[in-house]
Amino acid sequence: MDRFKLIDLLGKMYRVPREAADLMKSLGLIQWMASVDVPDPRGAGIIKVTPEVLRVARKGKILLRYFAGFKGIAPGGSLFLVIKAGGLLPPLQVSDPLAANYVKCVASNGAPLKVDLERDLYYYVWIRLQERGLHEGQSILVILGDDSEGSPGMTLREFACKIVFEAWVDCYGKEEFIRLQDQPSVRIVGGPASTLDVIVPSIIYPGEPIKTVVRAVDHFGNVVPDYTGPIRIVGDGFKITQRFEKRDKGVISFDLPYSTFGDKKRFKISVKDAHGNLKGFSNPSTLKGRDDEYGKGGYRIFWGDIHGHTGLSSAAYGTPFEYYEFARDVAALDFCALTDHDHYMTPEKWAIIREAASAFNEPHKFVTFLGYEWTHGSGGGTLIPGKYFGHKCVYFPTDVGTYYTYTRMEEAPDPESLWRCLEGTGALVIPHHTAYPLGYDQVSGTDWRYHNPRFERLVEIYSRHGSSEKAGGLRPIMILERLRSGKIKRTPAFNPEGSVQGALARGLRLGFVAGSDTQLGCPGNQIRNEPRASSSYNGGLTAVYARELTRSSIWEALWNRRCYATTGQRIVLSFKVNGHIMGEEFRLRGNEPRTIHAEVLGTSEISKVTVVRDGEDWYIHKGTSTHEEITVVDNSPLKKVTYYYVRILQEDGGMAWSSPIWASPSKV
């Protein structure tokens, strides 16, 4: 099956208009299905998949059985499987029964089968009956990882996930496909447990209970859902025992009394299992008094991931409800947003997204935001030849909002149209992976000439694509080249004009956030390296300084740029200039000095604390511990608007960036 035939078949099955882009067809795009008649699946048969559960990074075998319905399959008819896995499975093949990852297909009546397999973002298996068909009750067995003829079998990849199977049947050999109603799945779960992850609040106020989450995770960072047994939480002068039960699915939460830590200003919690085989430490936490600007404001640090995708984006996985459940119960995030792509969106999908965001929003426990991604230049290219504006996530402060797509000239084919559509909504728009070259593949960088400060108050400085901070920086954006061997070659390719520092040099006033841009439906950075060609790194997290865990409070913190970005670690970062906190703007006389203060609690030893002034690494402090605090004074004349921010680098490679603070001379 060549690519052109695959595109033709998918176009017929998903009712994709002929004028749609080939890439959209290859994604199995279903946004047009609402406007066409879907053939009645009754009588076309059923499919069953076993086993229900497999373990990551182990040899496994998946058996799919199709049973013909009363329509049967005539000679020349076929079964077409869509395996929604792509990079989640090793490279499947049907050509060599002695080689690894062999897919074997057998008809129960001995009918010869012609089998073609193609991989795009999913796997597609086309099984044709040439000489004999199938009668009702007869079956086709498909074995992923067959080893009966000498193959070493199939070793699963290291990512916990759910693999969904979709089946289409051409009963009469006319390439008129019927999609079966059932879409069975196999869960690939983590294990065995190798460590215990502990999450506590980054800021604790006196007298408050300490909400604690402990996760049993494997070597790859997956939660192990069947882990059970007692654990001990250990601190200065105390030991507390908790227990994982089967119903906990690898994650437990409980409150520790504030008195546990006495008057310690900074602390971590250590845990271990009953045998001492599994150990772990919490993220750092600080006891906050009211002695500085952050404390006087009553601010707490809340953690979130507001950039990710599900199966509603076709090339991604999972449902919106599974997405938020993972964020809340597994990743232990405080707030989250789902941003599925506009060019896959339909009114039906948008209704599901709105319902999920509303259902999971629970003030003081877990906050969600309604959003989507305006993905200009992806999939269908651009409706405005030669123009690439970049990708932007759009968020709404309430459950009221609608999507506007770049794929329709009457909606939002360019930023100016998008701004008009969003007028009066109170929306927040955040560009991401801004430093890619303009028009590069499906992940174009940002053209800052089309910036609108009324909506764009933040920029995503980091995600699994890399850092867009500056040219020559760490974790750079990569362009990708697929070699003949099938391997991906990654080469740094940075567009300085699209970078974050490029935007700040234009005078744009942008705070910093980070996200995962997960395609696995797993927000919160639990997947170390997602199995996507464009995933060069693990995802990031956003920290906000807000007074309480409610939509209005988190939104206010984001809107006022009182936030910072990390590469996934829960680093505690405080940054001030002349008493003004991150995201703020202030004025002073040109001859007045600027006193810059930064304090950081790292998740590992801190290597560098760098103060950036107007794009220059102005001051570098070399760290020696997990806690560093600096105060430096800039006595240079303040002749123009000047911005400052801090960049943190840990020994383990973890990073954090504070949002900038802008100082202006009084006469400006």
Task: Give per-residue pLDDT as tens, 18-64.
Answer: 444 444 444 444 333 333 345 677 899 999 999 999 999 999 999 99
Using DSSP, state whether 8 is helix, strand or coil. Answer: helix
For residue range 150-179, what is the model confidence (pLDDT) as tens digits?
A: 999 999 998 888 899 999 999 999 999 999
Separation of CA 150 from chain center: 39
Residue with tokens 């890619």: 436
Burial class of residue 157 in the structure, from the number of CB atoms within 10 Å of its CB (0-12 exposed, 13-18 middle, 19+ buried): middle
Q: What is the 3-state secondary structure (H, E, C) of 291-326?
A: CCHHHHCCCEEEEEECCECCHHHCCCCCCHHHHHHH
Long-range contacts of 360-366 (CB under 8 A, 24+ apart): 360/321, 360/324, 360/325, 360/328, 361/399, 361/551, 363/549, 363/550, 363/551, 364/548, 364/549, 364/550, 365/549, 366/324, 366/327, 366/328, 366/333, 366/334, 366/335, 366/336, 366/549
Spatial CB neighbours of 506, under 8 Å, sequence gap ≥ 6: 448, 451
**Pairing mode, if any, of strands 53-55 and 185-189?**
parallel
Task: Tell me the mean pLDDT in the region 376-396.
Answer: 80
Spatial CB neighbours of 46, under 8 Å, sequence gap ≥ 6: 66, 67, 69, 180, 182
Residue type, position 445, single letter: G
Q: What is the DSSP secondary structure assignment for residue 133, as one 8-state letter? A: -
| Rounded distance between C-alpha atoms, residue 128 and residue 174, angstroms | 12
Using DSSP, state whether 491 is helix, strand or coil. Answer: strand
Q: How confident is the model at residue 377 (pLDDT cuts 50, 70, 90)?
A: confident
The answer to whether 186 and 52 have CB atoms below 8 angstroms apart is yes
Separation of CA 101 from chain center: 28
For residue range 397-430, what is the model confidence (pLDDT) as tens digits?
A: 999 999 999 888 899 999 999 999 999 999 999 9
Burial class of residue 648 in the structure, from the number of CB atoms within 10 Å of its CB (0-12 exposed, 13-18 middle, 19+ buried): buried
For residue range 616-643, what is the model confidence (pLDDT) as tens digits?
A: 999 999 999 999 999 999 999 999 999 9
Residue 604 has pLDDT above 90, yes or no: yes
Cα-Cα-Cα-Cα torsion 560, 564, 568, 572, nearest 10 degrees, comes to: -120
Spatial CB neighbours of 234, under 8 Å, sequence gap ≥ 6: 269, 270, 271, 272
Task: Tell me the mean pLDDT in the region 320-333.
Answer: 95
Structure tokens at 552: 């209005």
Region for 497 from its dihedrals, namely left if φ exceeds 0, alpha if ψ lies in -120 to 50, beta otherwise: alpha
Task: Tell me the mean pLDDT in the region 131-139.
Answer: 96
> So what's the pLDDT on residue 589?
86
Q: How confident is the model at residue 236 (pLDDT cuts 50, 70, 90)?
A: low
Task: Tell me the mean pLDDT in the region 235-239.
Answer: 71
| Rounded distance between C-alpha atoms, residue 102 and residue 96, angstroms | 7
> So what's the pLDDT on residue 263?
63
- Name the E strands within 202-269: 203-204, 210-217, 229-235, 238-244, 251-256, 266-267
Residue with tokens 């694509």: 465
The answer to whether 145 and 45 have CB atoms below 8 angstroms apart is no
Q: How many CB atoms lie within 10 A of CB 640?
A: 12
More confident residue, 528 or 488: 488
The DSSP secondary structure of 73-114, one letter per residue, reads B-TT-EEEEEEETGGGS---BSS-TTSTTBEEEEETT---EE
> So what's the pLDDT on residue 20?
47
Spatial CB neighbours of 655, under 8 Å, sequence gap ≥ 6: 462, 467, 474, 475, 566, 567, 647, 648, 649
The answer to whether 49 and 214 have CB atoms below 8 angstroms apart is no
> DSSP H helical segments within 522-653, as ranges?
551-559
Burial class of residue 60 in the structure, from the number of CB atoms within 10 Å of its CB (0-12 exposed, 13-18 middle, 19+ buried): buried
> DSSP H helical segments within 199-265, as ranges?
none
User: Omega into 665 within 30° of 0, i.e. cis?
Assistant: no
Share above pLDDT 70 across residues of the chain, in percent, rounded to a whole number: 90
> So what's the pLDDT on residue 30?
37
**What domains does the chain contain, in order, with CATH numbers?**
39-188 (2.60.40.680), 195-287 (2.60.40.1930), 301-568 (3.20.20.140), 571-668 (2.60.40.10)
Least confident of 203-217, 307-321, 647-661: 307-321
The answer to whether 388 and 438 have CB atoms below 8 angstroms apart is yes
Q: How many CB atoms lie within 10 A of CB 444?
A: 25
Q: What is the CA radius of gyration of the chain?
A: 27
Task: Tell me the mean pLDDT in the region 390-396.
Answer: 96
For residue range 545-570, what is the model confidence (pLDDT) as tens digits?
A: 999 999 999 999 999 999 999 999 99
> So what's the pLDDT on residue 529?
58
- In b/e form, how buried is each residue of 466-496, taking b as 16+ CB within 10 angstroms? bbbbbeebebbbbbeeeeeeeeeeeeeebbe
> So what's the pLDDT on residue 29?
41
Burial class of residue 160 in the structure, from the number of CB atoms within 10 Å of its CB (0-12 exposed, 13-18 middle, 19+ buried): buried
Q: Taking the alpha carbons of 127, 131, 135, 137 in that order, is the dihedral positive or negative?
A: negative
For residue range 272-286, what is the model confidence (pLDDT) as tens digits?
A: 998 888 999 999 999
Task: Tell me the mean pLDDT in the region 463-483.
Answer: 88
Structure tokens at 382: 């651009």
> So what's the pLDDT on residue 31?
38
Residue 385 has pLDDT above 80, yes or no: no
Task: Tell me the mean pLDDT in the region 108-115.
Answer: 97
Q: What is the mean pLDDT of the chain?
A: 89
Question: How large is the greatest C-alpha to C-alpha distance in the chain, in angstroms?
Answer: 90
